[in-house]
Amino acid sequence: MLQLLSPTISYPSPLFHLTSHPFPPKPHFCSTHRLSFYLPPKMASFSGFLAKSQMGMTAGGGGGDGANGFSSLMDYVGKGGLDVGDDLLVLLYHIQFACKRIAALVASPFNSALGKHSALTGATSGAAASDRDKPKPLDIVANEIILSSLRNSGKVSVMASEEDDAPIWINDDGPFVVVLDPLDGSRNIDASIPTGTIFGVYNRLKELDNQPTEEKALLNSLQSGTKLVAAGYVLYSSATILCASFGSGTHAFTLDHSTGDFILTHPSIRIPPRGQIYSVNDARYFDWPEGLRQYIDTVRQGKGKFPKKYSARYICSLVADFHRTVLYGGIAMNPRDHLRLVYEANPLSYLAEQAGGKGSDGKSRILSIQPVKLHQRLPLFLGSLEDIDELESYGDVQQKVNPGNNGSVTAKCAVITMSTVMVNCERQ
């Protein structure tokens, strides 16, 4: 079985920790049937209880060590629990290791300095994000941290990131493809508002192995969300929470800084079929289509199919808004063509469905949409099944015209119309 060797995760100085352990060690195989770590078997306090570290814990279908009911992430997805397979277990280990480093970085008083210098992950001054978003330095740092971990895992053939213009081919033999948004909501860091990492995992399409590298990297990254084998997000807030699904429910694990373990705290999450919260930037109410305005007006007056008045809660951090929606129900939404299908909409919709909820673009199931571009954008509505079904029944809920662009859109339409008229006149 698999033996993963990891340094003890402690955070006396995030700057020291991040620079002294640039890469997680490679996993080694041994004949034992347990995951073992350098962490000594001990009792560690966690949320007012006593929980054992990784050694001696079992998952038991969502349980833990029997006496205390706690289980680490690695135990829960290993042979004692979900048994996702050795390859996916190694990949998950490296993803969660990278996210621990990002959590320390985001919380560090030195993060501004780290973001501006290249000592940690290489030069960042020339990097640029896709489309129009100009990343803050921490976006680039987080991206490089995850890329380093994925390379070191030996299990990833392609990484496609929101921060890169094109997918990165890593390993010809890697069985998995990883798509990710390395640091969602990074614009909020200076105000200490929660941020997050979003990731999705696909199997490599072996039938493309003989294609040119760039082509097979792109096509592997453009798989439909229905083909996801795993997805998750990590919330960096008052607690660091890793929420993931491997096709058998959605489960959340909270980082215990005293041991460095992600501890199972929310097994088999179920999104309530109804909630009383909608999360959207309703300062743009007057830019919305009629159907969306009618829906919001109806539910906040308590006149919808659920006869209670809805409240607005909006953090403007997708991972944070979605995490609250997963726990309490309701809808987290952005009606504009703004969120990315590959990196954000597909992984989060997968998690929503695994928890009994739904992901929609206002008309169609997100996971059924075939990506045609790596950085393809679309409206996104996530949350309670009955709430989203009711929203979709209003029809016109997608905001196709962005605020402030009405004039330019009108002008473009006029030019297109005039061009069409001129062509028709010439043909006559």
Which residue carries 């929606």 as its tokens?
Answer: 325
Q: Per-residue pLDDT averaged across 338-359, rounded?
A: 98
Grouping H, G, I as helix, E, B as strand and the rest as coil, residue 203 is strand
Q: Tell me which of 65, 75, 139, 256 is the catalytic residue.
A: 139
Query: Could you confirm whether 144 is annotated as catalytic?
Result: no
Give the CATH number for residue 304. Answer: 3.40.190.80
- Asked if the structure places residue 321 within a domain, the reply is yes
Q: Are residues 230 and 304 in the same domain?
A: no
- What's the one-letter identity of residue 251? H
Comparing 120 with 131, the larger pLDDT belongs to: 131
Query: Could you confirm whether 162 is annotated as catalytic?
Result: yes
Which residue carries 């614009």 as its tokens?
Answer: 187
- Asked if the structure places residue 9 within a domain, the reply is no
- Asked if the structure places residue 223 within a domain, the reply is yes
Give the CATH number for residue 249. Answer: 3.30.540.10
- Asked if the structure places residue 369 within a domain, the reply is yes
Q: Are 382 and 329 in contact (CB under 8 A)?
A: no
Q: Are residues 219 and 281 in the same domain?
A: no
pLDDT band at 400 (very low <50, low <70, confident <90, very high): confident
Beta bridge partners of 160: 179
Could you say which of 240, 268, 296 is where a domain stops?
Answer: 268
Tally of residues, the chain: 428
Q: Are residues 385 and 354 in the same domain?
A: yes
Q: Are residues 311 and 374 in the same domain?
A: yes
Q: Tell me which of 162, 164, 256, 361 is the catalytic residue.
A: 162
- What was the pLDDT predicted at 111? 61
In the chain, how many domains are there?
2
Q: Rounded distance, CA 273 to CA 297, Å?
A: 20
Q: Tell me which of 65, 75, 144, 163 is the catalytic residue.
A: 163
Residue 387's alpha-carbon distances to 263, 273, 383, in angstroms, are 31, 7, 7
Query: Could you confirm whether 344 is annotated as catalytic?
Result: yes
- What's the one-letter identity of residue 347? P
pLDDT band at 69 (very low <50, low <70, confident <90, very high): low
Q: Are residues 251 and 312 in the same domain?
A: no
Query: Could you confirm whether 133 is annotated as catalytic?
Result: yes
Question: What does pLDDT average to over the chain?
Answer: 80
Q: Are residues 187 and 108 in the same domain?
A: yes
Beta bridge partners of 161: 180
Q: Are residues 346 and 290 in the same domain?
A: yes
Q: Are residues 93 and 169 in the same domain?
A: yes
pLDDT band at 405 (very low <50, low <70, confident <90, very high): low
Q: Are residues 321 and 176 in the same domain?
A: no
Q: Are 217 and 167 in contact (CB under 8 A)?
A: yes
Q: Give the range among 62-76, 132-146, 168-182 with minimum mean pLDDT.
A: 62-76
Q: Is 420 exposed, middle or buried (0-12, 13-18, 19+ CB in 10 A)?
A: exposed
Q: Are 318 and 185 in contact (CB under 8 A)?
A: yes
Q: Are residues 244 and 335 in the same domain?
A: no
Q: Tell me which of 65, 75, 164, 181 is the catalytic residue.
A: 181
Query: Could you confirm whether 183 is annotated as catalytic?
Result: yes
- Asked if the structure places residue 124 within a domain, the reply is no
- Asked if the structure places residue 22 within a domain, the reply is no
Percentage of the chain modeled with pLDDT above 90: 67
Q: Tell me which of 256, 344, 353, 392 is the catalytic residue.
A: 344
Comparing 28 with 273, the larger pLDDT belongs to: 273
Q: Give the range among 201-215, 227-241, 371-385, 399-413 with minimum mean pLDDT.
A: 399-413
Q: Is 62 exposed, middle or buried (0-12, 13-18, 19+ CB in 10 A)?
A: middle
**How many angstroms separate the first and last alpha carbons of the chain?**
77
Grouping H, G, I as helix, E, B as strand and the rest as coil, residue 405 is coil
- Asked if the structure places residue 79 within a domain, the reply is yes
Q: Per-residue pLDDT averaged across 120-146, rounded?
A: 63
Could you say which of 211, 246, 268 is where a domain stops?
Answer: 268
Q: Tell me which of 133, 337, 386, 396 is the catalytic residue.
A: 133
Two structure tokens written together for 263: 């501890």
**What's the domain range around 174?**
73-114+135-268
pLDDT band at 136 (very low <50, low <70, confident <90, very high): low
Q: Is the model's pLDDT at 401 over the cut of 70? A: yes
Q: Are residues 203 and 80 in the same domain?
A: yes
Query: Could you confirm whether 290 is annotated as catalytic?
Result: no
Render pLDDT for 358-381 as a digit per residue (tens, 0 to 9).
999 999 999 999 999 999 999 999
Helices 86-107, 137-153: axis angle to 10 degrees equals 150
Q: Are 106 and 189 in contact (CB under 8 A)?
A: yes
Query: Could you confirm whether 164 is annotated as catalytic?
Result: no
| CA–centroid distance for 149 within its chain | 17
Q: Are residues 243 and 383 in the same domain?
A: no
Comparing 68 with 308, the larger pLDDT belongs to: 308
Q: Tell me which of 88, 183, 255, 339 is the catalytic residue.
A: 183
Q: Give the range among 70-74, 114-118, 391-395 with minimum mean pLDDT.
A: 114-118
Q: How does 10-48 read in b/e, with b if 16+ C-beta sit within 10 Å?
A: eeeebbebbeeeeebeebeeeeeebbebebeeeebebee
- Asked if the structure places residue 370 within a domain, the reply is yes
